[in-house]
Each structure stands twice: as C-alpha cells, then as structure tokens.
Chains A and B, each alone.
Chain A
Amino acid sequence: MQQRLARGEAAALGELYDRFASLVHSLAHRVLDDEDAADRITREVFAYIWEHPDSYDPKQGSLRSWVAGVTRHQAVQRLRQTEADSARDCGDDAPAPAEIEQKIREASTAARADYIVTSMPAPLRDALELAYFQRRDYRQTAADLGVTEDEARRRLRLGLQLLSTAHNHQALPPTHRTTYTSSTVRATPAASHASQPPLGSRPPHTHRSGPGSSAPPGSGHGRAL
C-alpha cells in the first residue's frame, strides 16, 4: 500500500480511504466532538498521508496504528487551537491553562482508548461489550461466548488492562510537530512506555501506578494489519 501511494496511484488512495476513513473520522470526532471538524481532520489526515507516504515506517508498527496516531495528533492540534482561540475571545473569563490542558489530555486519552478497543483481539472486545454495554455478568458472558467462567474473567481483566494503557500516554505537547513516530501511537502495551520518544519538555503524564516496566514484550496482538 505504501509503495502504491508513493508511486502516486490514485486507486491506492481510494483503497486507503475505504480502509481507514471510519477509524480516522471516529477518532477525530472523539477528540473534537464536532461533525464538521471531524470531516476537516479526515481531509487533512488523508492529504497528509497522500503527500507524505514515506513518513510511515513499517518497522515501527502497523499502518493502522500509524494512521490512528496521525489522526490523533492532527485532532489534538486542532483542539488546542480552538481552545486557545476561544480562551482569547473569552478574555478574563477564559478557563485556566491547566484546565485547558486537562481537557486536551482527556480528549487524547479518550481517542487512544477508542483505538485500543477497536484494535484489541475480538474475544476481549466481545467480552467487554457483553459485560459493559449489555450489562451481562461474567457468568452470563461466559455462557454467551461459550467459554469457561475462568476464561470470561480472564478476558474481562485482560481487556481492561489493555484499555488502561490509554492513560500511560501523554497528550501531545504544543511543541510537538510533524514527526509521527509510531511508538507514540501503538496500542500494544509494550510500546506504551519503553520507547516513549522525547516529545518536547513536558514531563510525561504518569499514571499513579507508574510506568509498567514489567510489561511483557509486545506479542503482536492489537495489530490489525
């Protein structure tokens, strides 16, 4: 796909859109909570990829995780911009900068969490879907999925553990520009800390349990491609 894009094949661009448009649009919508803004981000993300197909490094992770990272970056940048604009317009009534940062961080985390859910192995996602959205208890979940109760408990726990890694990433600081390193975007737990790239001066947002140095090596799950 990357080669076809680099070669300037319009058909590949169409296929790229079909594969990732709903991911891009939904992540942008989660960050910005606005349909038109999500449309705009979708246009910008695909234009960026089309113009810079070489900026994706397959060694760093899947194309899907990279696209998600580009999207979140663009959406967070846009959110930062609109928040700054509205703060300027509000004058003295503007929210404190810390408040704005908090909002941006939450939006970024929510987008990561969405990505993790869509990328986690289907058995884990299905278990979470039943237990949380369908409000089934774990025994019913086990019965619905045709697995043992042990297995249902294990899937719920593991699914939430994966999801909790969404907190382990920092929101993109204002100085961070267009280097989309895939290690900032991968949903696999292994990538969440160890390879955190230097992103400006802001200290990483640390979760109360601290960096999980005991995280196992990435086993490749969560890779959709």
Chain B
Amino acid sequence: MNGPDQWDGREVSGGPGERPRIPAPRAAPEDRGPLPDLPPAPVTDPAGDAGAWDGDSPPHDDPRADTPREPEAEPLTDPAPAPAPLTAPTPAPPHRVLKSLLGAWALSACSAEETAAVEEHLTDCASCADEALRLRDAVGLLHPADSLDLDPLLRSRVLEGCLGRRPARIPVPDWAAPYDAETAKLDALLRDMGEAEWRAPVRLRWFEGERPVERETTVAGVMGHLMAVDGLVATALGLPDPLGTAAPPGAPNPLIRTETFWRSPDGELGPTAAHGPWRDQSYSLIRQVSFAGGKVAELAVPYGDFRLPLRDAFLDRAFECWVHAGDIAEAVDYPYEAPAAAHLHRMVDLAARLLPSALADRRRAGLAAPPQRLVEAGAPGRTLHLEVEGNGGGHWYIALDSPAALGTPDHTVAHIALDSAEFCQLAAGHILPEEAAAGQHGERDAIREVLFATASLSRL
C-alpha cells in the first residue's frame, strides 16, 4: 500500500481528508521566497558525500511489517529512483517525494507549497501520517548542545576519587602529574576550538640576553613546537622521535627542533594536524614513565647545552604546556586556568633550583658581575630570599655566588617578594625583569641579576 506506483495523481486541492489533520509543525521560519513548482532534484548519485555511513534503510520505515520496504529508502542499492519530471505546477508530487519531505516538513524546512502538499497528503496516507507524528515528536528532542565548559579542576577530583576507591597498580609518578594535568587541560581547550581558530596568529615571547624577543606563528605552529620539544623527552625514553628522519643531527636543541618541524612537510599539514600526534605522544610519555616507575626519574634528558633529570624535564614540559596554552587561549580569547597550587609550586621550585646555574651562565656570557667571593662547594654563600606569594608559592633561598654553593636564610643579602603568577610570567619571558612587580629589599645588584636570570630561563 502507498507505494510510489499507487499514487493516484490526485491534485493537492483534492477532497477533504478522512483522517484527522495533523497540526502544523513548529512555526515556519522566515520567508524563504516563492518556490512554486518543486522541480525534482537532478538524479545524481544520492550517496553524495555520505559515504561515511552505509546508507542503510531508515530505522523505522513503516511499523506495519507486511509493507514491503519502499525502494526510495535504500538509495545506495537503487541509485537512480528517477522520479517522473514534474513540469506543471498543478499536480501534487508523488507519494515517494512527499514521503521524502517528511523530515524537512517536521523541521519546517520546506517551501509553503511543499508544506501544504505534505499536509494534504497526510490526511489520506496512514503510513506517512504515522511517520510525520513520530518525526515531529523527535524535533522536540533536539536541544542545543551544552556550551558548559567542564571545570578543568574536575579531572583531578574525579581521578583522585577513583584512585581513593581502588588504588592504581600502575600509578602515574607524582612528578609526572603536572604534565598529565596540563596536557589534559590544553587538549580540552583544543577540542573546544573551531578549525578557523587554529589559524589564529599567536605571538610567542621569550627573553634572550638582555632583551625580549618574539615570534609570530599560529596555534598549529605552537602545537608543532610543543610536540617537537616534548620529542626530546620521548627520545630520551626510547619512544619514536616525532620529527622522524627529519630530526636534526647533533646535540638536541629545542629551537632547532622546532624550526625543523615547522619547515618539514608535517609542519605544513592542515591546521589541526598536530593535535592528534601531540596528544598521542603526551599519552605515550605518561604511560611510559608509569610503567618505568621511579627507575627513570633521574634519567638525563639533553636539552642542547644543558641536561635535566627526567622528573624535572616533565615539570619543564608541564610549565611550557601551560605557558603556551595561555598564549593560545589569549590568541583565541578563551579563559584559561592556572595549574593547581601543588603543581604550580613544583614548577616554581624547578625555576628556583635552576636560578644559580642561570646566574652562572649569565656571568660566563659577561651579562652579570663576577661573584663577589669564592665559596667552597656545599658551603653556605651569599643568598637571595625569593618569596613567591599566592597560589603555589613558598620561600626559596637562592645561592648567588655559584651553583655549588648553598643558599641559606642566615646569609641572605637580598629579598624579593612577588606573586606566583608574576614570577611565572617572568620565568616565561612574558614580562621584562625591570617591570616585574616585585617587592625588593637588600642588595640591588643581586636583585637585578636574579630577576634577569629568571627571565633568561625562558626560551622558545
């Protein structure tokens, strides 16, 4: 019944229907303009680009099981349904065309003429009327997607809750937790972004010698950078190098690796191409250190002219991930949260531990005054008291004379107090040492050198 061939050609304005008229769907959208004579669409392969889905027949064609499946429901097996061309505006479209309009009708996405023709048809076609009701009810279930962003701190609360109930047999080492959290947060940001936003220009800033430098790239370029430098840690752990055969020879260097990646064919793939590989690599890193456990914490990771033990390299990468996620968020105008206090504290701690070496590097480069006196290794020397306030803050005592000297409260010659956000911005090279809002007390040269050394921790 009601097959396409049985349509009797009755005109739209035919006799009154015997079935109760189905009320109109939601109010019609704004005027679409006249479309008088429903020209049949050119008969092309209806599969179109829907190849992702197999074109099976609709799930509920007709509840009456004795009705043979109508051919138009299976476009792939019948690619040329060939409706009779309708040239005259007067006759109503055939059943199969009206039936195909039911979805559009339920959504008020037909022309006024089509809407009238469908509604006329519903008065005397039981199967279409049933389906029309069902589809119209379904429209009521459409609901705009929640724009609610998940609270980034929910992740750690959920995972803690789980691990409290069933402890992990293979835990993530706690020195890798900041990297785990920061990569997850950046991943969530990237998933919220549209493709156009991946092309947004991003200004990368850092500090070299005595001056700030900056470089323009895109979100995609930042992700390539993060992946190329994370690759240093990956290769140290025996994982594949994301640069593959393009990896530059010689001592690994974050800047050279980044530029190599940007120039490589991989660096020029679509804007979002780096997202998946970056995330896969960060997952692999976390998994690798989970299985290796404490054994690899002290493994040396070469960073060009210095090395970091793996536990610190993971902190460094967590810090970089946060800083660059902040760059991306700023570029696309999204809010972005600072790390959890415990994680931020570890990052500040890493920077504070690196400061004596950074001071020594600056002295060697002639950028800082030579030490005022020589101190035996392990002996207390002149000290700067670094007080970081707020989220993740604390007190650190920085040895000023040599990386081998011991910083102690008793030998404090200067005191700096600044907010943790300000300290991190300084260490990221985002603000100038002269402009850092720091409370200062004591030897001015020592203070200046430590602020400059903090900024010099930044790099591309």
Binding site for B on A (CB under 8 A): 7-11, 13-15, 17-18, 21-22, 25-26, 29-30, 35, 39, 42-43, 46-47, 50-51, 109-110, 113-114, 117, 121-124, 128, 131-133, 135-142, 145-167, 189-190, 192, 207-216, 219-221
Contacts and interface: CB of A to CB of B under 8 A. Distances in A.
30 contacts: A10-B163, A10-B290, A11-B170, A11-B287, A15-B283, A21-B150, A25-B150, A29-B146, A39-B151, A39-B154, A43-B157, A51-B166, A121-B50, A123-B48, A131-B104, A132-B142, A137-B32, A138-B104, A147-B48, A147-B49, A153-B100, A153-B101, A157-B104, A158-B58, A160-B135, A161-B103, A163-B142, A164-B138, A166-B138, A220-B54
Given A14-B172, A147-B48, A153-B104, 20 more contacts: A9-B170, A11-B287, A13-B163, A14-B155, A17-B159, A18-B155, A21-B158, A26-B146, A39-B157, A42-B158, A123-B50, A131-B104, A141-B109, A148-B42, A153-B100, A160-B134, A163-B138, A211-B63, A212-B63, A214-B67
Interface string B142-155: 11111010110011
A13 B184 CA distance: 12
Nearest to B286: A11
B44 interface: yes
B41 interface: yes
Contacts of B102: 157
Contact of A209 (B130, B143, B146): B130
Interface in B411-453: none
B65 interface: yes
Given A25-B150, A114-B143, A121-B53, A160 B107 contact: yes
Which applies to chain B's interface (DSSP): helix, strand, loop or mixed?
loop
B210 interface: no
Contacts, number: 250
B56 interface: yes
A108 to B, nearest CB: 12
Interface string B30-68: 101001000001111010111011101111111111010
A139 B101 contact: no
Nearest to B135: A160
A124 B35 CA distance: 25
B106 interface: yes
B188 interface: yes
> Which of A50, A156, A167, A208 gathers most chain B CB within 10 Å?
A156
Given A39-B151, A43-B157, A146-B49, A189 B60 contact: yes
Nearest to A22: B150
B169 interface: yes
Contacts of B169: 7-9
Contacts of A21: 150, 154-155, 158
A214 B159 contact: no
Contacts of B32: 137, 139-140
Prevailing SS type, chain A contact patch:
helix
Nearest to B140: A113
Given A14-B184, A121-B50, A133-B144, A154 B137 contact: no
A123 B52 contact: yes
Given A136-B109, A148-B44, A11 B290 contact: yes
A149 B103 CA distance: 12
A199 to B, nearest CB: 22
B65 A214 contact: yes
B271 to A, nearest CB: 19
A160 B44 contact: no
Instruction: Indicate the member of A123, A164, A210, A216 with the most B CB atoms within 10 Å.
Output: A164
Nearest to B170: A9
B269 interface: no
B122 to A, nearest CB: 14
A132 B172 contact: no
B104 A156 contact: yes
B60 A160 contact: no
B71 to A, nearest CB: 13
Contacts of A138: 101, 104, 107, 109-110
Given A51-B166, A156-B109, A166-B141, A123 B103 contact: no
Contacts of A145: 49
A10 B50 CA distance: 39
A157 B72 CA distance: 12
A22 B167 CA distance: 24
Contacts of A15: 283
B155 A35 contact: no
Contacts of A192: 59
Nearest to B130: A209
Interface in B164-188: 165-172, 180, 184, 187-188
Interface string B277-319: 0000001001100100000000000000000000000000000
A165 B60 contact: yes
- Closest 5 A-B residue pairs measured CB to CB? A157-B103, A8-B169, A189-B59, A156-B103, A113-B141
Contacts of B283: 11, 15
Contacts of A25: 148, 150, 154
- Which one of B133, B142, B168 has the greatest number of beta carbons of chain A within 10 Å? B142
